[in-house]
């Protein structure tokens, strides 16, 4: 185990400043970085270079999930998310996993797939043969486009071609496999796909159309596994409830969609915190979940004889620590520093661990007390704000609604009115 620990009891009870002090010590954040976390790090000039038609900067809270022990190393997890309870749930479930020895992970190579669509190919099977025969030359042409990636040990690795029968007739689809190392890889792969497309057209006598990365990144998989002692989650009965919740998701796509949404709560929050493209991750995750022709859960849960649970997660995770917004948004850089990850593969493994325990937390809440109990307090605060409460009023109104078990904006308005009337002399 590392000397730094992410096991921080009662972290949630500390003030924002105390939490920031602990995280800064853990990650070695400078005073400038701490200031950026409190006041916002992205300036308007940088934002204006990131997307088009900028008129402002939108903010979302950044929280830290504690207690993560992944492959024997302690991690503090930055999560950017607007939904209450997610950060708390991740921290709780990471503690349960820790009691079972932590979370183990594995990642494949960082291979992304570029697709080149060829239409009007007369003899597609013969053309496919020709492409494969000339793949060394095509790979060389692709690699000429990214000497930086090649110098780092990455680059185009292989080429294959498939014939698909579409409503617009047969098409020859070439797949270019690229090791993108520490990048998400879309720009790198798209550039290579565009470079080889004219050569593919002249080899096959067809016309090229689309030249674009596939977000079904099934050559870039990550896995996480953990053992959850029954005693950590409230006993055998709860463990059985979690197992039955998983069985429900396995048998029913309506439930599987929500099961996977729970996993993505954790994964997207880390993706956003680190400046990664969460739409790409989402697209890949759901396409992978449906790879067997039926939409299925991305995780599995097994119940052992003694009531302990074994959880696994397997999914594609195309994330980077260079390129895209990971380096342009200073807050993303700070998140990566807090995580202390040294490669895209390590970031993907950490994200898989977060997704797995996030899933567990949701299943436990559903199987044990029902999801609303955990959501109540923060939800009530949001409703109080909607009703017009400010400052101390927010907590007073929220607490009253929780104690009454009536969390509605009309009730919040009544309580607020009574409170303000009482305050008047």
CB of 49 to ligand NAD, least distance (A): 13
CB of 212 to ligand NAD, least distance (A): 7
* Binding residues with ligand NAD: total (CB under 6 A): 24
Options 64, 90, 113, 149; binder of ligand NAD; rule CB under 6 A: 149
Q: Report the distance separating Cα 350 and Cα 104, nearest Å.
A: 10
Q: Which is nearer to ligand NAD, 322 or 376 (CB)?
A: 322
Please, are residues 171 and 188 in contact by the beta-carbon 8 Å criterion? Answer: no
| Among 208, 248, 227, 6, residue whose Cα is nearest residue 114 | 208
- The yes-or-no answer on residue 308 being catalytic is no
Please, are residues 338 and 78 in contact by the beta-carbon 8 Å criterion? Answer: yes
Query: What are phi and psi for residue 305, nearest 5 degrees?
Result: -55, -40
CB of 172 to ligand NAD, least distance (A): 21
Q: Which is nearer to ligand NAD, 278 or 301 (CB)?
A: 278
Residue 186 within binding range of ligand NAD, rule CB under 6 A: yes
Pairing of strands 309-316, 221-228: antiparallel
Assigned token pair, 285 = 């995750």
Q: Report the distance separating Cα 297 and Cα 264, nearest Å.
A: 11
Q: Report the distance separating Cα 412 and Cα 77, nearest Å.
A: 34
Options 37, 97, 184, 203; binder of ligand NAD; rule CB under 6 A: 184
CB of 269 to ligand NAD, least distance (A): 17
Residues 291-320 that bind ligand NAD (CB under 6 A): 320
- The yes-or-no answer on residue 314 being catalytic is no
Q: What is the distance between the terminal CA atoms of the chain, rounded to a whole angstrom? A: 60
| Among 113, 114, 117, residue whose Cα is nearest residue 172 | 117
Options 63, 154, 307, 374; binder of ligand NAD; rule CB under 6 A: 154
Please, are residues 301 and 361 in contact by the beta-carbon 8 Å criterion? Answer: no
Residue 183 within binding range of ligand NAD, rule CB under 6 A: yes
CB of 353 to ligand NAD, least distance (A): 22
- The yes-or-no answer on residue 282 being catalytic is no
Which one of the listed residues 261, 314, 337, 395 is annotated catalytic?
261
Residues 272-291 that bind ligand NAD (CB under 6 A): 277, 280
313-341 burial, b for 16+ CB within 10 Å, e for fewer?
A: bbbbbbbbbbbbbbeebbbbbbbbebbbb
x/- map, 188-217, ligand NAD, by CB under 6 A: x-x----------------------x-x--
Q: Which residues bind ligand NAD (CB under 6 A)?
A: 146, 148-149, 152, 154, 180-188, 190, 213, 215, 277, 280, 320, 322-325
Active-site residues, by number, are 83, 261, 277, 375
């Amino acid at each position: 185990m590392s000397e730094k620990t992410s096991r921080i009891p009662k972290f949630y009870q500390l003030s924002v400043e105390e939490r920031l002090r602990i995280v800064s010590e853990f990650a070695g954040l400078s005073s400038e970085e701490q200031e950026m976390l409190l006041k916002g790090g992205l300036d308007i000039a940088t934002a204006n270079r990131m997307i088009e038609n900028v008129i402002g900067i939108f903010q979302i809270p950044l929280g830290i999930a504690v207690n993560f022990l992944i492959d024997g190393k302690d991690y503090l997890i930055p999560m950017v998310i607007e939904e209450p309870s997610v950060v708390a749930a991740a921290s709780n479930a990471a503690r349960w996993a820790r009691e079972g020895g932590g979370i183990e992970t594995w990642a494949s190579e960082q291979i992304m797939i570029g697709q080149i669509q060829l239409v009007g190919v007369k003899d597609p099977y013969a053309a496919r043969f020709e492409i494969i025969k000339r793949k060394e030359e095509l790979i060389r042409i692709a690699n000429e486009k990214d000497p930086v990636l090649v110098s780092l040990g990455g680059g185009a690795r292989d080429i294959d071609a498939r014939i698909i029968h579409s409503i617009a007739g047969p098409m020859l689809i070439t797949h270019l496999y690229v090791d993108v190392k520490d990048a998400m890889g879309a720009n790198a792969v798209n550039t290579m796909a565009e470079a080889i497309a004219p050569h593919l057209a002249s080899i096959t006598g067809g016309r090229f159309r689309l030249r674009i990365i596939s977000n079904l990144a099934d050559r870039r998989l990550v896995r996480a596994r953990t053992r959850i002692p029954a005693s950590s989650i409230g006993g055998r009965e709860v463990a059985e409830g979690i197992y039955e919740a998983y069985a429900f998701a396995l048998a029913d796509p309506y439930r599987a969609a929500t099961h996977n949404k729970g996993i993505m709560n954790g994964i997207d929050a880390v993706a956003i915190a680190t400046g990664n493209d969460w739409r790409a991750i989402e697209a890949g995750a759901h396409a992978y979940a449906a790879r067997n022709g039926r939409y299925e859960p991305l995780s599995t849960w097994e119940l052992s004889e003694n009531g302990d649970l074994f959880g696994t997660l397997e999914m594609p995770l195309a994330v980077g620590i260079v390129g895209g917004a990971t380096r342009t948004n200073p807050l993303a850089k700070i998140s990566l520093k807090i995580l202390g990850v040294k490669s895209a593969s390590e970031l993907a493994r950490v994200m898989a661990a977060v997704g797995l325990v996030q899933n567990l937390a949701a299943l436990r809440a559903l199987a044990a007390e029902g999801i609303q109990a955990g959501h109540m307090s923060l939800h009530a605060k949001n409703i109080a704000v909607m009703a017009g409460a400010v400052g101390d009023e927010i907590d007073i109104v929220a607490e009253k609604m929780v104690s009454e078990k009536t969390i509605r904006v009309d009730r919040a308005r009544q309580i607020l009115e009574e409170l303000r009337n009482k305050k008047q002399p």
